[in-house]
Amino acid sequence: MGAIRNRTDMFATALAERMIRWRWAVILVTLLATFGFATGMPNLAFDTNYRAFFSDENPELAAFETFQATYTKNDNVLIVVRPADGNVFSADTLAVVEEITEAGWQVPYAIRVDSITNFQHTWAQGDELIVEDLVRNAHALERGDLLERRSIALNEPLLRNQLVTPDGSVTAINIVLQYPELHSMEVPESVAVVRALRDRIEAEYPDIDIVLSGISMMNNAFMESGMGDMAKLIPLMYLVLLVIMMIAIRSWSGTLATLFLILFSTIVAMGSAGFLAIGLTPVSASAPTIVLTLAIADSIHVLMSMRQRMRDGLAKREAIIDAVRINFLAVSITSLTTVIGFMALNLSDSPPFGHLGTMTAIGIVAAWLLSITFLPAIVSLLPMKASPRKSDGKDATARMGQLANWVTRYSRPVLFGSVAGSAALIALIPTIDFNDQWVNYFDTSLEVRRDNDQALEDFGLYPIEFSVPAQSSGGIAEPEYLQNLDAFAAWARSQDNVTHVYSVTDIMRRLNRNLHGDDPDYYTLPDDRGLAAQYLLLYELSLPYGLDLNDRINIDKSASRLTVTLDNVTTEETKAFLDAAEAWLADNTPDYMHTSATGAQVMFAYVAERNVNSMISGNIIAVLAIGLVMILALRSLRLGALSLIPNTLPILTTFGVWALLVGTVGFSVAAVGAVSLGIVVDDTVHFLTKYRRARVERGADTAGAIRYAFETVGMAIVINTIILAAGFAVLALSTFKLNADMGLLTALAIVFALVLDFLLLPALLVELNKLTSRNTQSGENRDEDQSYQPAQ
């Protein structure tokens, strides 16, 4: 066993020597390889579709794709128009709405534009059915005409609360877009045109205020948020790096070397993502920040050891070689566990998390390789000095020793105290609510979020789609079907949080009235299947381009689409509504009409469950694989198994603290377990390796070995924790809630890991050894490492 360690040491020494001897070649090869990876980066592009968050196997996505293939895609932009005088039905404002409606057709990929002006108003005049735009050439309308239009619009179920507020103070123009999905710039292209339109209208008509909402605006925000994060967080990470490096190693050249190392690791990660054709999302765009954080940790270990060795009086070259030798195993193991944690993200149901995992894992491998090849080569070239050891270092070591003594002396209260504290927090976990209001993923610093919040004051946001089947082809004209559908629409309207319901039965009622001379008594559903079918035929024949019913009724008229628009509801409220709607259909309609809801909001309502479930296996694999690595690294089954406690407890405790302080979390929480596990084990690896070395090689007793571990790696663990926690805390500043949640949770888990590694772990070792020595007489040597008899 010692031989293995020696062989590793010999290998590391030889490696470092060669790297220094061939340093120019090493640097050249590093540059060339990095450049090679960099050529993949131009392939990177942001995904501008919320569907990127769902795997191809996701059943909610599959249902929604089928729905959209049957009707139409429902990506949209909602242009909310608010006149200063609070009256939409003035000639001036209606003229603006007309202008925006007309311009709406020019938005790239628009297939439909709906507004109060182009609404197809139907009315009867004798035997004539007149179908025309509700408002045409608004400037020519007299006061009486305007009042009439107002009354029609405010009483029209298809418009009220959907495109105009009931008080007539705010109106909206809805543009439906059908993207060919050939390249990722389609959404930004449309959004740019819409924004230019808004700017032009607002400049031309100062009394008109416009906000932009809708799914396309959100989809575009994925890119804006991701790019904004990259522009903001990465420089911030570099700043954090500079501060930490200057404090920890106090060397400009070491800082410069680290700068190169993290830059190259990031390029390798991003370039590989380009070659793997990964579509960026705000989630995967956080990979550079995470790679930076983890790469700094590798580099800092080597450089700190080097500085220590130089203070001890070694020449620079020897100090480098020794630093590589000392850290080779630890850096390799911690990199491996972190890679395992991140690779486990590939089991997530949400591809962006898999992408993040893969990209980060590649970056970690690159950082590991560079820290044992490129780093020794470059620091051997750069000037570096270390002042002789000052007393403050000793003080830190001494403080660590004091901490060790304190923990061993009060091991029992420390153990019970930390376990009780953790347990109390863990007990709060069930109170955490999942909330994936995906439009709220974006921070209020983004225009899209502010606009959206404002739009929500007047209109609903989340469309819930029902494709309600009829009994047979043409069956939507069946009176039974229409009556049940109408009852369902009425039920939905009576629910909390429902702002609007779009049902073809409202069109049927109107046509029935129109074809009976606009007699209000005929505002009823036709009671004859043929009549209803013929109404539809008549209506279809008179609609203009883009305003047809093809997006409402399937081609063989065996199903129609009912859209319920919900207010700004939480995931839980959405699920409650979905359950109630399905139950209502099941209880009140014939079997053939039973159906489930679909739509983006439905997909996000279940995304947390799907991801938590899919990550259960990911987390189990990560725990087992990392546990195995620990057992092999520590060469002790007992210590390896024991390490699971300080490794998993901080993560669970973190969720408990989150439950206490925040209470709700988005689905990115599913990723936190595997990621933080891979990271927090580093501390345990360092601590237990030293503990075991003291027990086995130096024959120390438990308390002595704990003190040795504290004194040798205590400060390194503290610095490591500061680096990693700072890195993930930077991620908490993301404009994207999923990243911010993940960053903050991981940072918390890292800090808790430090606390528990310094308190719980040593106390546990002391108490367990007391227990085993009491039970078995043979005391300390019940370790499975039977070959070693400790010196008494």
Partner 1 sequence: MKTKATNPLSKSLLAMASLLALAGPAPAFAQEAELPAWVDTDSERRGYEIAIRSDNSDNGFGDSRVEATMTLRNAAGQETSRQLSFQTLERADNTVGDKSVVVFHTPADVEGTALLSHAHILEPDDQWLYLPALARVRRISSANKSGPFVGSEFAFEDFTAVELNKYEHNYLTTEAITVAGETLPTDVVERFPRYENSGYSRQVSYIDQTIHQVRRIEFFDRRGDHLKTLDLGDYREYGDGIWRAHRLVMTNHQTGKSTDLVYGDFEFGVGLTDNDFVRGVLERQY
Interface positions with partner 1 (CB under 8 A):
66, 68-70, 72, 105-111, 125, 127-132, 178, 180, 473-474, 477, 515, 528-535, 537-538, 540-550, 553-557
Q: In the complex, what is the shortest distance from the CB of residue 550 to partner 1, in angstroms, rounded to a whole number?
A: 6
Q: Is 104 left (phi over 0), alpha (psi -120 to 50) or beta?
A: alpha
Q: What is the greatest pairwise CA distance in the chain?
A: 113
For 217, the token pair is: 């605006």
Looking at the DSSP bridge assignments, the partners of residue 759 are none
Q: In the complex, what is the shortest distance from the CB of residue 630 to partner 1, in angstroms, rounded to a whole number?
A: 51
419 versus 531: smaller Cβ distance to partner 1: 531
Rounded to an integer, what is the distance from CA 411 to the centroid of its chain?
Answer: 40
Q: How far apart are CA 248 and CA 608, in angstroms?
A: 40
66 versus 776: smaller Cβ distance to partner 1: 66
Residues 6+ away with beta carbon under 8 Å from 282: 222, 225, 226, 229, 352, 441, 734, 735, 736, 738, 739
Q: Where are the alpha helices (DSSP H) in 208-286?
A: 215-248, 252-275
Q: In the complex, what is the shortest distance from the CB of residue 359 to partner 1, in angstroms, rounded to a whole number?
A: 33
Q: How far apart are CA 720 and CA 441, in angstroms?
A: 30
Q: How far apart are CA 716 and CA 620, in angstroms?
A: 29
For 166, the token pair is: 């009931």
Q: How far apart are CA 81 and CA 213, in angstroms?
A: 11
39 versus 125: smaller Cβ distance to partner 1: 125
Q: Which residue bears the tokens 């039920």? A: 491
128 versus 392: smaller Cβ distance to partner 1: 128
Which amino acid belongs to residue 679? I
Which amino acid belongs to residue 397? T
Coil vs helix vs strand at 159? coil
Q: 176: part of which helix (H) or strand (E)?
A: strand 171-177
Q: How far apart are CA 675 and CA 746, in angstroms?
A: 8
What are the angstrom distances between the C-alpha of 710 and each of 333, 401, 765?
Answer: 20, 6, 13
Sign of the alpha-carbon torsion through 335, 266, 30, 376: negative
Directed axis angle between helix 374-381 and helix 287-311, to 10°?
50
235 versus 544: smaller Cβ distance to partner 1: 544
Residues 6+ away with beta carbon under 8 Å from 144: none
Q: In the complex, what is the shortest distance from the CB of residue 510 to partner 1, in angstroms, rounded to a whole number?
A: 14
Which amino acid belongs to residue 280? L
Q: How far apart are CA 770 and CA 751, in angstroms?
A: 28
CA angle 483, 489, 492 (to 5 degrees): 140
Q: Is 543 left (phi over 0), alpha (psi -120 to 50) or beta?
A: beta
Residues 6+ away with beta carbon under 8 Å from 717: 683, 686, 687, 754, 757, 758
DSSP class of residue 160 equals B
Of 677, 648, 685, 758, residue with least CA distance to 693: 685
Phi, psi of 447 (to 5 degrees): -55, -40
Residues 6+ away with beta carbon under 8 Å from 366: 264, 265, 268, 269, 295
Of 119, 604, 181, residue with least CA distance to 190: 181
Q: In the complex, what is the shortest distance from the CB of residue 245 to partner 1, in angstroms, rounded to a whole number?
A: 54
Looking at the DSSP bridge assignments, the partners of residue 121 are 132
DSSP class of residue 445 equals T
Q: In the complex, what is the shortest distance from the CB of residue 113 to partner 1, in angstroms, rounded to a whole number?
A: 10
Of 696, 701, 685, 693, residue with least CA distance to 642: 685
Burial label, 717 (beta-carbon count in 10 A; 0-12, 13-18, 19+): buried
For 126, the token pair is: 């004798």
For 172, the token pair is: 């909206």
Q: How far apart are CA 32 and CA 27, in angstroms?
A: 9
Residue 618 contacts residue 480 (beta carbons within 8 Å)? no
Q: In the complex, what is the shortest distance from the CB of residue 282 to partner 1, in angstroms, rounded to a whole number?
A: 29
Q: In the complex, what is the shortest distance from the CB of residue 178 to partner 1, in angstroms, rounded to a whole number?
A: 5
